[in-house]
Amino acid sequence: MSYLKPALKHPSLPKNALGFTRRDYEGSISTLCAGCGHDSISASIIQSVWELGIEPHRVAKVSGIGCSSKTPDYFLSASHGFNSVHGRMPSVLTGANLANRDLIYLGVSGDGDSASIGIGQFAHLMRRGVNMTYIVENNGVYGLTKGQFSATSDKGSKAKKGAINTDEAIDLVAMALQLGATYVGRSFSGDKQQLVPLIKGALSHQGVALIDCISPCVAFNNHEGSTKSYDYVREHNESVNKLDVILGRSPIAASYAPGEMTEVTQHDGSVLRLRKLHDDYDATDRVAAMNYLARHKAMGEIVTGLLFVDPEAQDLHASLGTVATPLNQLNDASLCPGSSALEKLNAGLR
């Protein structure tokens, strides 16, 4: 059972640009297991939206089914949320986005929801470039049904009961890059320093943004032999860059050697300031990113960071040429051609 938290707030809580405290972005109390990676992601989402100074009701949260998909109840309770059906968050969110292009869309899904039952919708959403942030809370296992392998489980990874996964893993980051996603990141629920800026950049991005966030399942996939455990991910995590998201121009505080830092300005004016951790990584080159990821995956690394961004991204509304006014706000006069048009039409059908 979830329930509301007490409304009592400490008077000296810090406020964002709009005067909201972090508490204004929280949700019901989580019903997930203690230590679940998903709860850390929820906390990072709250932190990101608070820091960006987005009015909480301007976000629409959509999810599918599974542990991950339950989490939208646990953040942003002033936002409308939709817990839809298994694997179908992408289509529901696409429809919602078509209806009102002015809201900020956050889709939360899991590895079962997106890489198994929902892989078709995942793929086609990426292709269409729906303006949204798509977070996959990836733990490599089915939690609510108690420990079956999911499609992102690595080949050779061991289940809690000892079975070895013999199927090749689906890499959602590689798929998203191939299918045209315009903002692609991978992170780890245990690394809030990395995750919060990634989410902020994604929410500011005017196209489809995927964050594949490895999020260990403490109940069913956090043991020796699992490649999605806290220990394993910490040991193999290779971050290619460090991201800061800057709203409006602000001077660069630290000085960097040439080539160490790149800046990417997105459509909404936000600036993605990327400090390179690996010399040969360029996050604005899709093909190079795909090659790098494939090479380093073969070396057993889990490459994280902002892996690709196209600052010139366009979204589905641009492809369709829809009017700037949200479709759900158009009135009778804009929608109904009326009787005189019908008379002319009738005349042509005789």
Partner 1 sequence: MPQPLSATNDFVVKFANVNGSGSASANQLFAKSILRMGIPIASRNIFPSNIQGLPTWFEVRVSGEGHLGRRGGVDMMVAMNPQTWDRDVAEIDAGGYLFYDSTKPMPASKFRPDITVIGVPLTELVNAAYKDARQRQLFKNIIYLGALSALLGIDPVVIETLLSEQYKGKEKLAKSNQDAFHMGRNWAATNLPPIGLKLEKSDKVGDRIYIEGNAAAGLGAVYGGATVCAWYPITPSTSLAEGFEKYAKRFRTNKDGTKNYAIVQAEDELASIGIVIGAGWNGARAFTATSGPGISLMQEFVGLSYFAEVPAVIFDVQRAGPSTGMPTRTQQSDVLSAAYASHGDTKHLVLFPEDPRECFEFGAAAFDIADRFQSTVFVLLDLDIGMNDWLCEPFAWDDSKRMDRGKVMTAEMLEAGRDFGRYLDVDGDGVPFRTYPGTHPTKGAYFTRGTSRDRYAKYSELGSVYVDNMERLLRKFETAKNYVPHPVEKKASRTTPYGVLYYGSSSAAMQEALGALEQDGIHLDAMRIRAFPFHDDIQRFVESHDTVFIVEQNRDAQLRTLVMNECGIDPAKLVPVLHFDGTPITARFIRDAIGRKANSVEVVPLRKAVP
Residues that bind partner 1 (CB under 8 A): 1-2, 28, 55-58, 60, 62, 72-73, 77-85, 88, 90-100, 102-103, 120-121, 123-124, 128, 316-317, 320-324, 327-328, 330, 332, 334-339, 341-342, 345-346, 349-350
The least distance separating partner 1 from the CB of residue 128, rounded to whole angstroms, comes to: 7
Task: Choose among 38, 223, 231, 35: nearest CA to 139.
Answer: 38
**Of the two residues 79 and 165, which places its CB atom closer to partner 1 in the complex?**
79
Nearer to partner 1, 291 or 328 (CB): 328
What is the secondary structure of 78-119 as a DSSP string?
TSEEEE--TT-HHHHHHHHHHH-TTSEEEEEEEHIIIIITTH
SS3 40: helix
Q: Which two tokens stand for residue 15?
A: 């406020």
In the complex, least distance from residue 66 CB atom to partner 1, rounded to whole angstroms: 13
Provide, rounded to whole angstroms, the least separation between the CB of residue 134 and partner 1: 14
**Judged by CB, which is closer to partner 1: 250, or 328?**
328
Minimum Å gap between C-beta 195 and partner 1 is: 23
Name the minimum Å distance from CB 314 to partner 1: 15
306 CB burial (10 A radius; 0-12, 13-18, 19+): buried
Nearer to partner 1, 291 or 334 (CB): 334
Q: Tokens 């399942």 map to which residue? A: 217
Least distance between partner 1 and beta carbon 30 (Å): 12
Q: Residue 265 or 328: which CB sits closer to partner 1?
A: 328
Can you tell me which residue has the tokens 């999020």?
215
DSSP letters spanning 185-247: EEEETT-HHHHHHHHHHHHH-SSEEEEEEE---TTTS-STT-TTSHHHHHHHEEE-EEEEEES
Residue with smaller CB distance to partner 1, 79 or 204 = 79
